[in-house]
Amino acid sequence: MIKDYQSQKELRDHYDFCIIGAGPAGITLALRLAGNGRHVLLLEGGGHEYSQPSQALYDCPSTGMDVYAQETRLRFLGGTSNHWAGRCRPFEKSDFEVAPPVKLPGWPIAFSEIERYLPAAMAIVDLPADAGFKAINVSMGGDDFEADRFLLSPPTRFAQKYAKELQETEGLDVFINCNCVDLEFDAKTGGIATVVVSDYEKHRERVKAKQFILAMGAIENARQLMNSESLASAGIVSKDGFVGRCFMEHLNLDLGTFILGEGQSTEPRQYFTTDAFVAHYQSGKGNISAALLEEVKAYGRMAAIKDFLETLVCDVGLAHKIDFITNFNCPGDGVITTLIEQFPNRNSRVNLLEARDALGMRKVNINWELVPEDRHTIKSIGLEVAKCFAETGLGFVKLDEYVYDVTVPLKVAPHAHHMGTTRMASAPESGVVDENCKVFGTDNLYVAGSSVFPTAGASNPTMPLLQLALRLADHLNHQAGPAGRYS
């Protein structure tokens, strides 16, 4: 049953599971834990649709590189799946077997732990089980790059697809406009005793449950943990710990431009680094997209002037001589863009601010930083792409200066893939959650979503975070024992 907490204060006295956050991970968990005598509470801070009061709670400045955190997330039922593009690619075995070339460990679990959940995750996002992640174009040749393999979900909008199940699943209570504002830890029991929830008028009450799961996204999962004074008093969250650290994104940058080789297909191409490339260069992974610009577009009052200048310069072949004046590409030119892995970095982190939001929670700032190994990845991929283009006759590449000269400031943008702030590890000295996604130092607090990723890979995170959510649901169901035991 879906109820609006603004007008319906009808929470049960006690739940078996309380899930905070109703995006892809939270909805997946709720539907697999509910029923058979178990009572599950799914809390969503936003409503059925976008609203400014809810979205304003995502206000989040950034330092270092700009994350555009508030603009790239959505705070209402279904979460960011409401504007997800649908691109799906699973992690690879090597993501779990090769540790990052920084002083932090990689995944503490085997690849098989999530691989078995791939068919179920594909079904969740409406991908046929027999579709297969097949190459979308021919390989570039050589050992360094292979044709990328991914599938496109319709894309699945979780609130719409699962509306009936959220409304009718036995044992499931869904409350919208119900914001979690505190996690109350009981040092005597070693677990979360209650969570404090609030509507937008600051009416508050406490929710009791056997197990609690944070599924709010990488920024908010960390923010929720850091805002808990009782967790801080118990030493579970500390300034020196890993909560909020190792914020990772996928690096979105232009590698450069290219002129297509004679007789080559004009179809867009997608390539992916091979394991051999990563091993040889000791680099991260990356997707490379190569596509031609069909036209040059200009907008605003200067459109006519810009169109005239661009047409003139392109016609006489002088574009390269005025590159220092303006950045544009002539019709027919190609551009090479990326989705590149970022390595975990303790200094890339979510920090608490003194300022508070409308509900009284402390706001956060994101300091997004790279390590030298990230610049090495970008340079290695860029140089090798240019070489392969020339050797195979695909075209001739002009790399942007910041690709091969690491002293030049990098022009990078985020992909809105927030990861790593509650990283999974075998011990609290290098992470926040254990191999079962339980927060170190607690008996009943878990985290779901891409915030638990210890490394980012170069795959869109939706597919693997769903696989991990399914794995967590199985773990919690097994831990609970026979259905109905809790109730």
pLDDT at 480: 82
Q: Are 205 and 9 in contact (CB under 8 A)?
A: yes
Tell me the one-letter amino acid at 410: L
Worst-scoring range by mean pLDDT, 131-135, 312-316, 386-390? 312-316
Per residue in 269-303, pLDDT tens? 999 999 999 999 999 999 999 998 764 344 444 44
State residue 453's pLDDT score: 98
Higher-confidence residue of 126 and 332: namely: 126
Query: Which of 38-52, 181-195, 286-300 comes out lowest in average pLDDT?
Result: 286-300
Residue 87 dihedral angles phi and psi, to the nearest 5°: -75, 130
Beta carbons within 10 angstroms of residue 178's beta carbon: 28
pLDDT beyond 70 at 316: no
Q: Residue 73 phi/psi, 5° resolution?
A: -115, 155
Pick the CATH number of 2-130+156-250+345-369+417-480 from 3.30.420.40, 3.50.50.60, 3.30.70.20, 3.40.50.740: 3.50.50.60
Q: What is the mean pLDDT of residues 19-27?
A: 98
Entry pTM? 0.91
Closest by CA position to 369, among listed 350, 393, 395, 391: 350
Largest CA distance in the chain: 78
User: What percent of the chain is predicted at pLDDT more than 70?
Assistant: 91
Structural element, H or E, at residue 307: helix 303-316
Least confident residue range of 291-300, 307-316, 447-456: 307-316
Q: And the tokens for 256?
A: 């450069």
The pLDDT score that the predictor gives to residue 333 is 75
In angstroms, the Cα distances linking 52 to 46, 56, 159, 358 are: 10, 6, 19, 12
Highest mean predicted confidence (pLDDT) among 304-313, 322-331, 455-464? 455-464
Q: How far apart are CA 3 and CA 337, in angstroms?
A: 44
Question: Measured on CA atoms in the order 121, 126, 129, 135, is the torsion positive or negative?
Answer: negative
CA 317 to mean position of chain CA atoms: 41
**pLDDT at 389 > cutoff 60:** yes
- 324-351 pLDDT, tens digit each: 334 444 544 799 999 999 999 999 999 9
**What is the pLDDT, as a whole number, of residue 41?**
98
Residue where the block lists tokens 């009791």: 208
Lowest mean pLDDT among 31-45, 128-142, 166-180: 128-142
CATH 3.50.50.60 range(s) for the chain read: 2-130+156-250+345-369+417-480
Distance separating alpha carbons of residues 236 and 441, to the nearest angstrom: 6
Please state, rounded to an integer, the average pLDDT across all residues of the chain: 91
Q: Are 218 and 422 a contacting pair, CB within 8 Å?
A: yes
- What is residue 474's predicted lDDT score, i.e. its pLDDT? 97
Q: Check residue 140 and give its pLDDT.
A: 85
Q: Answer with the residue of higher pLDDT: 69 or 179.
A: 179
pLDDT at 37: 84
320 falls in which pLDDT band (50, 70, 90)? Answer: very low
Of 86-100, 132-146, 219-233, 374-388, the least confident: 132-146
Gap between the Cα atoms of 358 and 142, Å rounded: 56
User: What one-character-per-residue DSSP string does 207-225 give?
Assistant: EEEEEEEE-S-HHHHHHHH
The string of DSSP codes covering 74-115 is --STTGGGGS---EE----HHHHHS--SSSS---SS-THHHH
Cis-peptide into 24, omega within 30 deg = no
Give the model confidence (pLDDT) of 106-118 as tens digits.
Answer: 999 999 999 999 9
pLDDT tens digits, 164-179: 999 999 999 999 999 9
Give buried/exposed letters for 409-433 (b at 16+ CB in 10 A, else e): eeebebbbbbbbbbbbbeebebbbb
User: Which pair of tokens denotes residue 94?
Assistant: 């090597």
Cα–Cα distance, 250 to 144 (Å, whole number): 20
Instruction: Say if residue 478 is exposed, middle or buried (CB neighbours under 10 Å; 0-12, 13-18, 19+).
Output: exposed
**Strand, helix or coil at 289?**
strand
436 confidence band (pLDDT: 50, 70, 90): very high
Predicted confidence at residue 35, as pLDDT, reads: 80
Burial 258-288 (b: 16+ CB within 10 A, else e): bebeeeeeeeebbbbbbbebbeebebbbbbb
Of 55-64, 311-320, 417-426, where does mean pLDDT reach its minimum?
311-320
Contact at 8 Å (CB) between 41 and 12?
yes
* pLDDT for residue 216: 98
Q: Shortest CA distance to 388 belongs to which of 193, 258, 202, 233?
A: 258
